[in-house]
Amino acid sequence: MKKRSIVGFVIGCVVSLTACQTSKLSSKKLGKLLSESSTFSQNHTGFVLYDLSEQKEVFNYQGNRYFQPASNTKILTYYVSQRTLGDSLPALKYVTNADSLIIWGMGDPSFLSPSMPTSKVLDFLKSSPQKIYFSANNFTGKHYGPGWAWDDYNDDYASEITPLPIHGNVVGFKANGNSLIANPAYFQDKIVSVKSPNNFSVTRVESNNTFEIPQGKAPKANFEQEVPFKTSNKLTTELLASVVGKPVTLIDAPLRSSAKTLMSLPVDTVFARMLHVSDNMMAEHLMLMCGQILAGELNVKKGIEKAKTNYLNTLPDAITWVDGSGLSRYNMITPRDLVMVLRQIYQEVPQEKLFKVLPAVGQSGTLKSLMPKTDKPFIFAKSGSFSNNYNLSGYLVTKQGKVLCFSLMNNNFVKPMSEIRKEVVKILTEIYQY
């Protein structure tokens, strides 16, 4: 950003904020902060600030420019999911016959997930006297999102998308003396030692579920790692059989209209997990469930298409939205679009409930270390970052108690991300004071 444009930005900011009939923003301090800073000098930056009580946009700097939102995409996923899914997650569709229980997955990401409470799904399957049959016929999507990096397959944030997720679709490895324990135990005999110059870690063979560790090296006592497993419908039946204690047979049967729905956990449990730690697996499967409800198929793409038509057709700018998590760099959105969604969320979700599912600056989730620890956070927001991008969008409660929503997006920088985050905090803290 050139110095002339920075000065114009400051003047516009001061004029807009002063017009809100609240205490004036410290124009000298903010002006100095921005005009003397080189942090944003080469960024692509956009910032929109909206007063929720006055229903008025009070500041807009390049708010119509497009940005890669990264995990700010989860704001869209949350908005659509809280409108679509009701109070609890649909876990299974099922039909009970005299000698058979046929089940179809609904994309519930909580089933036996190491990060989620126990639901009643496992007890339901264990207690069934019938033979269990599993069909994935309603899943028409893909296991990875468009534009996901191919070499992320070994990272816990890139687990595959499946109709009936189990164990979070990851294998957890923990040190046990000089060896490892795999959870689920199904994968224990798939650990192999190979010659490697690298430090101790687990690497899955890309094409199958062989998990390699360095030969002759031992894990540290506190070693833990989660690695996505390579999914298949056959593997799902085998993992199900191992936890229910009886055979599960894979069949290809269309989802019946007469099928009943088994519910699992309250949706807010998964919303909080998705937003607090930016859980990609939760986000993708929430949109998968929305696809089943909105489009009649377990399909993230079709769920997004229906959501854009049903819920997002009044946004000021057309968006490109391709996945539930924001892992894809194909996603494109403007700050004023995000502010519009945040405004709508605030109108539909009680503030106390909303601020509980969002990370709180200095207190919880991905914003816990953004500022010093506090019992009175003033920012409740979702960050979104991958290399060269850092965005923060959410709600700010000013010192005088006024609630604003904002989207401050920064793309295409080569400076350390810590510098960008620090500058974002300075700007928002200054606004908090007015």
Q: Across the beta sheet with 131-135, what order do the strands follow?
A: 248-251, 131-135, 100-105, 88-96, 260-266
Whether residue 368 has pLDDT greater than 90: yes
Structure tokens belonging to residue 59: 């500041």
User: Locate tokens 């560790």: which residue?
Assistant: 213
At residue 70, the pLDDT reads: 98
At residue 106, the pLDDT reads: 97
Average pLDDT value for the chain: 92
DSSP state for residue 383 in the 8-state scheme: E
Cα three-residue angle 386-387-392, rounded to 5 degrees: 45
> Reduced to 3 states, what is the DSSP secondary structure of residue 148?
coil
pTM check: above 0.85: yes
At residue 245, the pLDDT reads: 95
Whether residue 7 has pLDDT greater than 50: no
Q: What average pLDDT score do residues 27-54 get?
A: 76
Q: How far is CA 101 from the centre of its chain?
A: 33
Whether residue 401 has pLDDT greater than 80: yes
What is the percent of the chain where pLDDT is above 90?
Answer: 86
The neighbouring-strand residues paired with 384 are 391
> Reduced to 3 states, what is the DSSP secondary structure of residue 163?
coil
Cα three-residue angle 19-24-29, rounded to 5 degrees: 125
At residue 191, the pLDDT reads: 97
Whether residue 30 has pLDDT greater than 70: no
Of 396, 384, 315, the C-alpha closest to 355 is 396
Task: List, for residues 109-150, the tens digit of each pLDDT value.
Answer: 999 999 999 999 999 999 999 999 999 999 999 999 999 999
Q: What average pLDDT score do residues 63-79 get?
A: 97
Structure tokens belonging to residue 185: 């135990």
What is the percent of the chain where pLDDT is above 70?
Answer: 91
